[in-house]
Amino acid sequence: MTSEGFRHLIEEQTDEELLGPCLRDEIIPYAFDLRPAAWDTFRAELAALLGVSRGDITVVGSGRLGYSMKPWNDLVTFRDSSDIDIAVVNADLFDELWLSLLSVAYPRPPITDKLGGWLKERRKEVYTGWITPPVIHLDWRIFGAKAKPVLKLRTRWFNALQQVSRHPPRRHEGIEGRLYRTWRHAELYHLNGFAALRQSLTG
């Protein structure tokens, strides 16, 4: 779908209907459309590295459609400097990271005094059902063995995305990803963004 086609679509469909093309529909993402088989390879390899199923992984944003979905970006075209954004939806992996983080950094003093503001931001993410593993910062020298499960999962996530970044046939800056607990959490995140996107495109 072209960006002009999407402008018409957003006028004709409800936010819930937009979840299909923007998140849920099984499509070949724009970042892979030059070599569709690479999408299958990418998803299979990433699923194996993260311990999830292929159906738990999708591409969102400009890497999916060929233009940015960020409000006020005017559907700017995917370019060589763009990131490919993925959504991984898996309750087991989410809970593993969440509980491991709680074990080492339960949000009460004095832990909160040691960690600064990043833990507060992660709590906001968890409230809405998603988390970004690479932005978790724990110093094993301070927290010792308790930090190891969190750091191990964060490293596994980072290395997995780095490893599969060679598969997309379109040039890109890197692979970024969010881990969602359920598909409904992912849908709510996008629905919240659609309101601002609709306003930015239609006034």
137: nearest Cα among 158, 119, 123? 119
Mean pLDDT, the chain, integer: 93
Give tens-digit pLDDT for 119-158: 778 888 999 999 999 998 888 887 889 999 999 999 999 9
Query: 40-46: which pairs have CB atoms within 8 A and are 24 or more residues apart?
Result: 41/167, 42/164, 42/167, 42/168, 45/163, 45/164, 45/167, 46/86, 46/88, 46/160, 46/161, 46/164
Q: Which are the contacts of 94, defined by CB distance < 8 A and separation ≥ 6?
A: 129, 131, 179, 180, 181
> Residue 160: pLDDT band by 50, 70, 90 thresholds?
very high
Query: What was the pLDDT predicted at 123?
Result: 85
- Burial of residue 51 (CB within 10 Å: 0-12, 13-18, 19+) is middle
| pLDDT (mean) for 75-93 | 97
Query: What was the pLDDT predicted at 112?
Result: 67
pLDDT at 115 over 70: no
* Cα–Cα dist 72/49, whole Å: 35
Which is it for strands 174-180 and 83-89: parallel, antiparallel or unpaired? parallel
